[in-house]
Structure 1
Amino acid sequence: MSLKRVVLLFLFACSLKTAGAQGKYQWKEATSGGYTYKYISNDPMKARFYTLKNGLTVILSVNKKDPRIQTLIGTRAGSDNDPKDHTGLAHYLEHLLFKGTQQFGSLDWAKEKPLIDQVSDLYDKYNKTVDPAARKAVYREIDSVSGLAAKFAIANEYDKMMSGMGAQGTNAHTWVEETIYEEDIPSNAIDKYLTVQAERFRDPVFRLFHTELEAVYEEKNRGLDNDGRKVYETMLAALFPTHNYGQQSTIGTVEHLKNPNLKAIRQFYNEYYVPNNMAVVMAGDFDPDYVIKSIDDKFSYMKTKPVKEYKPAPEAPIKAPIVKEVFGPDAESVDIVFRMPGALDTKSNLVLGVMSAILENGKAGLLDLNINKQQKVLNANAGVMGLKDYSIFSLSGKAKQGQTLEDVKVLLLGQLDILKKGDFDESLVKAIVNNAKLSELQGLESNNNRATALMDGFIKSRGQNWAYDVAYVDDMGTVTKKQLVDYANKYLQDNYVIVYKRKGEDKNIQKVEKPSITPVEVNREAQSSFLQKVAAMPATPVKPQWLDYEKDIQKTSLGNTDMMYVQNKDNGLFRLYYRFDMGSWNDKKLPLAAQYLQFLSTDKYTSEQISKEFYNIACNFSVAATSENTTITISGLQENFDKAVTLFEHIIANCKPNEEALAALKGRLLKARTDSKLNKSAIMKGVMNYAMYGAKNPFNNQLSQSDLDGITAAELTNILHELPTYKHTVIYWGPESLTTAAAEVKKLHTIPASFKAVPAAVKFVKDDQQKNQVLFADYDMVQTEVNWLRNSDVYDPAKTGIVSLFNSYFGGGMGSVVFQTIRESKALAYSTYAFYASPDKKADRYSIMAYVGSQADKMPDAIVGMNELLNDMPRADKLLETAKEGMKQDIETERITNDGIIFSYLAAQKLGLNTDIRKQVYESIDKMNFDEVKKFHDQYLANKPYTYCIVASEKKVPADELKKYGEVKKLSLEEIFGY
C-alpha cells in the first residue's frame, strides 16, 4: 500500500475502537467569526469543517509557508452516476464547466442563447437518429449552427480570468465517484477566485460543444493507444461484472461518445451539482474567518436538493481465478487484483493498509526483499485503491529476460503464501508506522497534499470520518500479526482477477471517427463585463521575495570542500547531499554502478539487512547519476542522522562485488531496454534528441551490448568505492545549527586530502536545422504524435523576461494562442503546445519545440494549423496583458524554500548567474509590449526550417504525406536508442 494521502483509508467508531481514535483524536466544536465549525483534536492539518445553511461543505486548512492556496471544488458524482445509455456524461460535463455562463464567455447572451438552444435540440435529434446519411445531415446542421453560435462566444475566458489573477494548475478530473475542479491561487486573489467560482456553478452554458466534443474524442483515442489504461479498464470490468466501477468507463464508450445529448448533461448537472453534494476545500495562507464568510456570501444562492445516491447490489463472490488478456505494442506485464471491503469498512481497511505495506513498502516488504532485491523479476509492486463500495488490492509485475508472465504470477502469489503462513517479522509493523509518520511530515509541506486528502475524505464519507483518518497512522501500530495472517487467509484465496498484458495487435480497437468540423471563432480579444469586473476587484499587493544567495545560504569549509547549509525550522526532517560534478557523460558506467549498489552486501550486512536497517530508522539513501551530476542523498528523521550517515558511509566504502547480482542486473537491464523500444513516449524522446543533436545524442549515449557484457562486478564496486574521492559539495538541510551539522558531517564523512581528477566529459553539440526534415518512427497506434524542433541562439540571461512572456502568450497554457487555435477553434487535438525552451547552462542553445497529438486523418490539418501559427502570430493585446499579469502574480507569490534555495543557486551558477534572475524578469514585465513579442517570434520562429518528429503507424500515415514536410528519414529503433 502506498501511504500517500490520496488513497485515504477512513475509519468509523462502530467498526474499530482504538485508543488513537477515541483518545488523542476527537471531534470538537468551536465558533469563530460568527461561524461554528468542527475539528479534530491534534489534527496536524488543523482542518476546520463547516456546513453552510444550504448544505455546502467547506473544509479549510491554514498553512502560512507560501502566500498561495490550493483550492478544490468537488461534487460526489462521477462515472458511477452516469446514465446507462450515456456513459462518459460526467466527464463531458467537467469539460463544459470551463466554457462560461451567461455572464462570462459570451459577447451577447441574448443573441447567443437561441443558437445554443438550437444546438441542444439538434444534438437531441442527432442522438435519436439512426440512419447514417440522416445523421450526417443533422451533424452538418449542428456544425453550421455551432459556427453561428461561436461568433458570440469568448473562448477560454475562464482560463483568462484565472491566469490574470495568478492561478496555476488550472485543471479538473472525473473519476468513478467524483468530479473535482482544481486551482492554485495567490492568497490575495480569494475574492476574485470565489466570485468566478460562484458564477461558474450558478448556471453554466454549454457553448462551443462540438469542438469540445472533438477534444474528448481525442482523449478517448489517446486512451485507446495506452496499454496501461486498457489493462485498468479490463481489470475493473472483470472484477466488477455488475457494479458501475467495472461497467461504466469514465470517459465513456465509443458508441455513447458518438451520440451525446446536451439535455441529458443538463439533467445530470441539475441533479448532482447541488450544495449538499458539493464541497469547497482550501489549504494555504488565508484567514479562515474571512474565507468562510466570503464563501457563504458567494454560494448562498445554491439551493439544497435531495440527491439520489448510487446504491448497487453486492457483487457475487469470485470463486475461481478470472483470467483476461490485453494486447498492444507496449511491454508485457501481469496484474493480479482482489476485490476487498470498501474504504468505509474501516476495520478491514486498516488491516489491509498494513498488509499491503508488509508486502511492499519500497525497502523491507516481502516483495522488496524476496523479489525485487533478489532480482527475480524485472519489477514487482503491491498496492491498494480505496473506493467507497469496494477497495482493490493489487499485485503487479513485469517479466525479466527469458521469463514468462506465468512465472511472474507464481512468484507474486508465492509472497501471499508467505504472508498467509505468517513468515514475517512482526516488528516490521513498527517500522511501517515510523515511515508512515515520516511520509506524513513530508506531506504536510504541500498544500496540494492537504487539500487532496481533505477532499478525498469528503467524497468517501462527507468528512464525517476524518477523526479516523487523522488517527490512521497511530492505529496502524495496533494491528497484530495474527490479525494480518487471519485477514490474508480470509480474503486472499483463488478469488482474484488476473490480467496478462501481452505484446501483439489489439484486434478489438475501435477509434472515434473524425467528424467534419468547420473552424469556429474564438474572439480572443473580446472581454465580458464580468471579466472586467473581476480584474478590477482590489487585491492586497503581495511583495515578491528575492533570494540573496550570500545571505540565504550559509557556507563552511569541510577540509578541502564546501558545505552549503539552509536550516529547517519547521520539523525534524533532514536531507544530506554529496553532489559531484560528474555523471554519465563522464563515465557511462556510473548510472549502472549507482543502480548496482542496492543489491550489494558488506562484511557486516547483507543487502537485505541494509534495507531493513534503513527502514527501521525511517531513513533513506539513494545514488543518482544524471548526465552531468551524480548525487548521493541521505534523508529522514534528524534523530537518526548519525545512524543513517554512518550506515551509508559503511556501505559505500565496504560494498563487495557480487557477480550473481550483476548478472541478474544485466539481464533486467537488457529486458528494460527491450521494453523501452516498445514505449511510444520513450521512442518520441529519442526522436527528439536525434532532431536536436543528430545521430550521436544524449539519449542514445548508452553502453553498447558488448560494453555491458564486459563489465565486471569488481569494476562497478571500484567505481562506488572511489566515488567519494572525487570532488563534491556537501549540502545540508535540517534542524541542526550550521556548527553542529558541520561537526557531525566532518565526524561521519571522510573527505580526502586531495581529490581525483574527474574524467573528461563527452560533448554534445546541438544541430543547425538548415532545411525542413522529417524524422519518422513507426508505432502501432490510433493517433499521431508530431513534434516540431529547431535549435536557436546561445543562452542570454537578458532574454529571460521576453522568453517567459512569449511562452505564456503564444503556447504555454489553455489561454494561449496555440491552444485556442488548434484545440478550441479547429478541434484538431486534445493536447497541443509550443514554447521557446531555455537551456540549463550558459554555453548551450535555446530550442523551439511545438507539439500536436491528433488522429492520423487529422495530421495534415494539424500540421498546417501549427505551421500557420509558427509563421504568423496573431495579435491579441488583452491576452498579452493577461499573460503579463499572470507572470507578475506567479513571481510575487513564489517562495523558494528549504533545500530548494541551494539548488536554485546551483542552477543559477550553471547559467553563469550569481543573483536571482526572477528580479530582473519581474522588473521587465511592465516594459514589454506586443511589438517586442512579435519581433521575438518573427526573429526566432517565423519562416524557419524545422525538423518534424513524427511517431505514428505507417499503416495510417502515407509516406507521400510525410514528404510534403521535408526530406523523410525513417529511424530504426537501434538508431534511436543506441543499442
Structure 2
Amino acid sequence: MNIKKLGFTILLSVGAAATFAQSAFVWKQATSGGYTYKYVTGDPTHSRFYTLKNGLTVILSPTPKAPRIQSFIAVKAGSKTDPANHTGLAHYLEHMMFKGTDKYGSLDWAKEKPLLDKIDALYEQYNSTTDTAKRKAIYVEIDQVSGQAAKFAIANEYDKMMSSMGGQGTNAFTSFEQTVYTDDIPSSAVDKYLALQAERFRKPILRLFHTELEAVYEEKNRGLDNDGEKVFEATFAALFPNNNYGKQTTIGTIEHLKNPSLNHIRNYYYTYYVPNNMGVIMSGDFNPDVMVKKIDEKFGYMKAKVVPPYTFAPEKPIAAPIRRDVYGPNPENLTIAYRFPGGNTRDARLLDLLSSMLTNGKAGLFDLDLIKKQKLLSARGESNTLKDYCDLELTGFPIKGQSLDDVKDLMLAEIEKLKKGEFADDLIQSIATNTKKNKIQQNEGYYARASNLMNDFTTGIDWKNDVASVSELTTITKPQMVAFANKYLGTGNYVIVYKHQGEDKNIIKVDKPHITAVEVNREAASPFLKMVNDIPANSVKPVWLDYDKDIQKAKLGPVDLLSVQNKDNSIFRLYYRYNMGSWNNKLFALAAQYLQYLGTDKMSADDISKEFYKLASSFSVSTTAEITTVSISGLQENFGKTVSLYENLIANCKPDEAALAGLKQRLKKSRENAKLNKGAIMQGLVSYAMYGEKNPYNNVLTDTELDAVKADDLVAILHGLADFNHTVLYYGPLTAAQAAVTLKPLHNIPASFKPYPPVMVFTKLTQDKPKVLFANYDMVQAEIDWIRNSDTFADSQTPTVELFNNYFGSGMSAIVFQTIRESKALAYSTYAFYAPPAKKDDRYIIQAYVGTQADKLNEAIKSMNELLTDLPQSEKVLVSAKDNIRKSLETERITQDGILFDYLAAKRRGINYDTRKNTFEAIDKLGYPDIKTFHEKEFKDKAYTYCIVASDKRVSDDDLKKYGELTKLDLKTIFGY
C-alpha cells in the first residue's frame, strides 16, 4: 500500500468530517452595551471576543461562582522576537514592568530622571567596552549612580497596590511568543486594577535595573542547575535550527546577560507593547457589557502601530536522527522529538490526539505497554503547541540495568505499533469521552478558563476549534490516525537527546558583580498610589462556611457519609478516607502502588485500566503519614459502573509476584534517582532538622525489608482495607441521602471494624543551639533553609500568624523579599513564614528560605539572620498586608469538595468552625506592636538549624561552621536506604 497516497486521501476525508462535525460551532457577531463582539455558538465558557478601536483584543468569560476575577494581560511577543544580539530582552522587560512609571515608583521623578539617564548611558558604554579593567570601572560607577537613583525609587509600589486591593497570584512569565502579566483580583477592585494597569503600560521606567538584573542572573544560574531545562534547550536547538525557538532561549545567553542595553529594552517595549499586539483576558464575576467599557476607557489612550512580522526560513526535513548529549547531576533519561506544523493547523489538533493515544494516564500505548508492564521507570508522550511549529516529545527513564538505547528501542517500538494500528479500536472514542470530562473540569475554575483563552490568543489558535474539539474527536477514525502517524513519525526524522548522569563541564556560571544595597523606601508612597487606594470599591460581604449547613450528612450503616451537592455539571468525586497511613504500617504506601498492576480472576490489570478510561473515570489510592485516601471520580452517569469496578478490584485483586518484582526493581531505581535530586535531598534535611535522625522522611522500607515483601502481604493489606473504619466523602449531582442509597449496594462494609494498627510517633525536636546540616550536591547555586520548631497549635494565634506572615515573608511586597532580593539582590527566590501544623497537638514550624549563588551564601545568611533578629517597621507594608488579608477573605469562596476537606482539616486541629471569620474580625484590631511582640517571642535570638544543599567545591567547611555545629549528612542517613 502506498503510504503517501493513503495519507493524502485519508486526511482529506478527515477535513470533510471535521467540517460537518463543527457545523454546530461557528463564529457569530452580536452587539451589546454599545460594543460589538464575536462569540462561538455552543461555547460553554460564553466567552466574548472584542476588538477595540485601537486594536486591543479583549476576551471576557463571565461566570459568577466567586466575587473574583482572573486576569491576564498578554503581549504577543517573547524570546522569539528578541534581537539576535540581545537575547533575553523580552524576559528582562517582563521583570522591569513591575518597577513603575514616572507617576508611581518614584519619590521625585524630576530628580530621579537625570540619574536614570546617566545609568542608561553607562550601560551603553559598558555594553560596547571589551577591556576587562575598564568594564569593572564602569560597573563601579553604575553601582554608585544606581545607589543615588534608588534614593528616589519606591521599590515594590506596584505590588503594594495589588496587595492592598486584595490581589493574589501577581506574577508574569515570558515564553517564545508571549509575555503575560497575571493577577487574581476581587471583582469589587476592578476599577483600581484597571487604573493601575493602564498606567503600568503607559510608560514603564527602567529603574532599579542593576539589582533586578542580578535577580535575572540568579534565574539563569538556577537554569544551569536544572537538567530538564538543559534537555529542553538542546532538543529545541536541534529541532528548530532556523527558528528562534531553537536559535535563542527565553532567558538569553550569558554573554548577553552580562551586556544589557536599556535602550534596546525600551525600543523593544515601544515596538511590541502596542494595543494591536496585546490582549486583556478575564474570567470571573463581572458583567461583560460593563467590563469592556471600563477596559476601553482605561486603555483607549494606546495607539496602534505596525508590528514587524517575525519571519524565518522554513525548517528542512530531518533525514536522519539528530543526536545531542546533555550532562548533569540528575538521573539519566532520553528524549525523542518529532517536528509538526504550527498550532492553528488541523495537524496540530491531530497531534494532541496522537499524544493522548501514547499517554493518557490509563489506556495509552505508553501507559499499558511501558508503565503497566513496568518496562521503564517512567515514560510519556506529550505535545508542545507553538505558533510556527509544534512537536511531539517522548521521554523515558530507564529501570536499573537498562541503557538509554534500551529506552529508545522501547519507545520507538510503541511508535511502530501506532503506525501499524496496533491499538484498541475504541481508544479514540475513549479519549473523546475523557476530553469531554476534562473540559468540564477546566471550565470550573477561573484560572483554567482564562489561561486557555490566553494561550489560544498568543499562539494564534482559532477558539472555535478549541470549543469544537470534543465533537471533532468523535469523527476521527482509526485508519485516519494510522495515516497521520505514518505521515509524521518516520523511522529517523527525529531529534534524540541523551541525558547522562555526570558532571557538566560546559557550565559557565554568571559571576556575582559587586552590588551595594539600595534603598527600598518602604514608607514612601506616590500620589498615584493614594489615588488608586482612594478609588471606591464595592463592598463585598464575606461568606463563611457553616459546616452544619453546608455539608449534608447521611449514614452507610456505621460509616459517616459527608456530601456537598454539585449543581453545576455531571462530575462526581468520591473518597474513602481512613485515619491511618505509613506511620501505622510502612507497607501501606507500597500496597497502594502495587494495586495499579493487579487484576482479578476475570479482568487483567490492562483490562481494568482500559475500562476505567472508557468510562472517563479514574481511581487512586494515596497514603500519607497518617491518612490513606481512596479517590474515585468520573461522570455521574457512570457512577455505578465506576464504583463497582474499583470495589471489585480491591476485593478480588490477585497476587502477582512478577508484577511485584518489577515494582521493586522500579522502586529501587526511583530511590536511587531521589538521591540525585536536590529538592528531595533538601526535604530530607528539613525532616532531619525537625525530628532528628529517625524522622518521617526516612521512615521507609530498607532495601532488605523491601526484598522480603511478598505479594501476598500486599494483597492482604488491600483486601483488608474495607475492614477499617473510614469516612465517605461525596461531591456530585446527588444529595447525601441519594448518594447513600446509590452507594450502599456497591460499597462493602463489614459488620464490625478492626482497630487501626498502632501508630509510630515522631516527636519534633526543640532546637537548643544553632546547627548546620549540609548535603553535598553538584550545583551552581546554594539552597538554604532555616528550621525551628515552635509552640503547640492554638487557633487563637491564627489572626496574628496570618498578619505576620503576610507582612514579613510571603509575597513580593513583604519585608523579606524587599530586603533580600529588591535591596540587596541576593536571591531570585526567598521567603519566610510561621507554618501551622495539621493537627491540634502538633507544633508550629518556622521556615525561611534563600536560593542564592554559592558565592553569596555568607551575605544571604547574614541578611536573613538580621531579619530573623530584628523586625523592620513599616506602616505602609502593614496597611497593605491587612488590606490584602481582609479583601482576600471577603472574596474567597470555598466550594465543591473543598468544603469537605476544609471541614476535615479544621476537625484535625480541634476546630468546629470556619477560622477565617475570626481572622477577618480580628485583623483591624492588630497593629505593629502585636507582630513585633510575636516576632520577639518566636524568632528573635532563637537557635535555628540551617539546612544547606550546595557543592562542597563552592562552599567551605569554615564558612558553614560560622553558623553552628556542622553535620555533613550522607545520603543513606537522609533517605533511610
TM-score bracket relative to the smaller structure: over 0.9
1:750 aligns with 2:748: yes
Between 1:424-433 and 1:185-194, the stretch displaced more is 424-433
Structure 1 residues 772 and 13, CA gap change in structure 2 (3 angstroms): farther
* Equivalence for 1:359: 358
Give per-residue Cα distances to partners, 1:210-263, cap 9 Å, x unaligned.
Answer: 000000000000000011101111111111112100110100000000000000
* Equivalence for 2:382: 383
Aligned equivalents of 1:623 and 1:322: distance in 2? Answer: 41
* Equivalence for 1:191: 191
1:440 aligns with 2:443: no
Specify which of 503, 506, 510 is matched with residue 505 of structure 1. Answer: 503
Structure 1 residues 14 and 737, CA gap change in structure 2 (3 angstroms): closer
* Equivalence for 2:470: 473
Aligned equivalents of 1:359 and 1:216: distance in 2? Answer: 37
* Equivalence for 2:878: 880
Tell me how far 1:19 sits from its aligned partner: 4.2
Tell me how far 1:113 sits from its aligned partner: 0.6
The residue type paired with residue 474 of structure 1 is: S
Aligned equivalents of 2:426 and 2:831: distance in 1? Answer: 51
1:867 aligns with 2:871: no
Structure 1 residues 651 and 13, CA gap change in structure 2 (3 angstroms): closer
Q: 3-state DSSP class of the match of 2:744?
A: helix
Structure 2 residues not aligned, in runs of 5+: 1-10
The residue type paired with residue 370 of structure 2 is: I
Q: 3-state DSSP class of the match of 1:748?
A: coil
Q: 3-state DSSP class of the match of 2:180?
A: strand
* Equivalence for 2:918: 920
The residue type paired with residue 387 of structure 2 is: K
Aligned equivalents of 2:696 and 2:901: distance in 1? Answer: 23
Give per-residue Cα distances to partners, 1:796-845, cap 9 Å, x unaligned.
Answer: 10000000000000010100001000000000010011111111100000
Tell me how far 1:425 sits from its aligned partner: 2.1
Aligned equivalents of 2:70 and 2:881: distance in 1? Answer: 21
Aligned equivalents of 1:763 and 1:147: distance in 2? Answer: 53
The residue type paired with residue 710 of structure 1 is: A
Structure 1 residues 17 and 125, CA gap change in structure 2 (3 angstroms): farther
Tell me how far 1:426 sits from its aligned partner: 2.4
* Equivalence for 1:615: 613
Aligned equivalents of 2:235 and 2:623: distance in 1? Answer: 36
Tell me how far 1:27 sits from its aligned partner: 0.8
Structure 1 segment 164-183 matched on structure 2, within 5 A: 164-183=164-183
Q: 3-state DSSP class of the match of 1:937?
A: helix
Q: Is the 8 A contact 2:22 2:468 kept in 1?
A: no
Aligned equivalents of 1:736 and 1:831: distance in 2? Answer: 45
Structure 1 segment 666-681 matched on structure 2, within 5 A: 666-681=664-679
Aligned equivalents of 1:358 and 1:846: distance in 2? Answer: 46
Specify which of 829, 832, 835 is matched with residue 831 of structure 1. Answer: 829
Q: Is the 8 A contact 2:14 2:480 kept in 1?
A: no
* Equivalence for 2:955: 957
Tell me how far 1:738 sits from its aligned partner: 2.3
Aligned equivalents of 1:635 and 1:315: distance in 2? Answer: 44
* Equivalence for 2:49: 49
Q: Is the 8 A contact 1:20 1:474 kept in 2?
A: no
Tell me how far 1:741 sits from its aligned partner: 1.1
Aligned equivalents of 1:56 and 1:138: distance in 2? Answer: 41
Structure 1 residues 22 and 420, CA gap change in structure 2 (3 angstroms): closer
The residue type paired with residue 430 of structure 1 is: Q
Tell me how far 1:739 sits from its aligned partner: 2.2
The residue type paired with residue 761 of structure 2 is: K
1:108 aligns with 2:116: no
The residue type paired with residue 32 of structure 1 is: S
Q: 3-state DSSP class of the match of 1:747?
A: coil
* Equivalence for 2:8: none
Specify which of 957, 961, 964 is matched with residue 966 of structure 1. Answer: 964
Identical aligned pairs, as a percentage?
59
Q: Is the 8 A contact 2:562 2:736 kept in 1?
A: no
* Equivalence for 1:7: none
Q: 3-state DSSP class of the match of 2:184?
A: strand
Aligned equivalents of 2:714 and 2:934: distance in 1? Answer: 49
Q: Is the 8 A contact 2:576 2:727 kept in 1?
A: yes
Tell me how far 1:473 sits from its aligned partner: 1.7
Tell me how far 1:928 sits from its aligned partner: 0.1
Aligned equivalents of 1:779 and 1:460: distance in 2? Answer: 39
Tell me how far 1:301 sits from its aligned partner: 0.7
1:238 aligns with 2:238: yes
Aligned equivalents of 1:737 and 1:164: distance in 2? Answer: 40
Aligned equivalents of 1:215 and 1:358: distance in 2? Answer: 41
Tell me how far 1:20 sits from its aligned partner: 5.6
Tell me how far 1:857 sits from its aligned partner: 0.8
Q: 3-state DSSP class of the match of 2:697?
A: coil
Structure 1 residues 300 and 17, CA gap change in structure 2 (3 angstroms): farther
1:449 aligns with 2:448: yes
Structure 1 residues 679 and 915, CA gap change in structure 2 (3 angstroms): same
Structure 1 segment 85-100 matched on structure 2, within 5 A: 85-100=85-100
Aligned equivalents of 1:556 and 1:82: distance in 2? Answer: 61
* Equivalence for 1:723: 721
The residue type paired with residue 537 of structure 1 is: I
1:484 aligns with 2:481: yes
Tell me how far 1:350 sits from its aligned partner: 2.5
Q: 3-state DSSP class of the match of 2:695?
A: coil
Q: 3-state DSSP class of the match of 2:959?
A: helix
Tell me how far 1:428 sits from its aligned partner: 1.0
Give per-residue Cα distances to partners, 1:833-862, cap 9 Å, x unaligned.
Answer: 111111110000011111111111111011
Aligned equivalents of 1:361 and 1:778: distance in 2? Answer: 37
Structure 1 segment 13-162 matched on structure 2, within 5 A: 18-19=18-19, 22-162=22-162
Q: 3-state DSSP class of the match of 2:73?
A: strand
Aligned equivalents of 2:367 and 2:789: distance in 1? Answer: 44
Q: 3-state DSSP class of the match of 1:520?
A: coil
Specify which of 775, 778, 784 is matched with residue 776 of structure 2. Answer: 778
Q: Is the 8 A contact 1:21 1:468 kept in 2?
A: no
1:714 aligns with 2:694: no
* Equivalence for 1:569: 567
Q: 3-state DSSP class of the match of 2:563?
A: strand
The residue type paired with residue 332 of structure 2 is: E
Between 1:348-357 and 1:500-509, the stretch displaced more is 348-357
Aligned equivalents of 2:762 and 2:714: distance in 1? Answer: 25
Q: Is the 8 A contact 1:655 1:717 kept in 2?
A: yes
* Equivalence for 1:6: none
Q: 3-state DSSP class of the match of 2:696?
A: coil
TM-score (norm 1): 0.98
Q: 3-state DSSP class of the match of 1:699?
A: helix
Q: 3-state DSSP class of the match of 1:18?
A: helix
The residue type paired with residue 922 of structure 2 is: S
* Equivalence for 2:344: 344
Tell me how far 1:409 sits from its aligned partner: 0.7
Tell me how far 1:694 sits from its aligned partner: 0.5
Specify which of 566, 587, 590 is matched with residue 589 of structure 1. Answer: 587
The residue type paired with residue 350 of structure 1 is: R
The residue type paired with residue 242 of structure 1 is: N
Structure 1 segment 598-613 matched on structure 2, within 5 A: 598-613=596-611
Aligned equivalents of 2:20 and 2:884: distance in 1? Answer: 45
Aligned equivalents of 1:778 and 1:739: distance in 2? Answer: 57
Tell me how far 1:16 sits from its aligned partner: 6.4
The residue type paired with residue 485 of structure 1 is: V
Give per-residue Cα distances to partners, 1:915-944, cap 9 Å, x unaligned.
Answer: 000011110000000001101001100111
Tell me how far 1:404 sits from its aligned partner: 1.1
Tell me how far 1:12 sits from its aligned partner: 14
Structure 1 residues 15 and 140, CA gap change in structure 2 (3 angstroms): farther
TM-score (norm 2): 0.98
Aligned equivalents of 2:773 and 2:454: distance in 1? Answer: 45
Aligned equivalents of 1:255 and 1:378: distance in 2? Answer: 38
Q: Is the 8 A contact 2:325 2:497 kept in 1?
A: yes
Aligned equivalents of 1:838 and 1:393: distance in 2? Answer: 43
Give per-residue Cα distances to partners, 1:357-405, cap 9 Å, x unaligned.
Answer: 1111111111111111000010110000011111010111100111111
CA RMSD of aligned residues (A): 1.2
* Equivalence for 1:5: none
The residue type paired with residue 682 of structure 1 is: A
Q: Is the 8 A contact 1:795 1:845 kept in 2?
A: yes
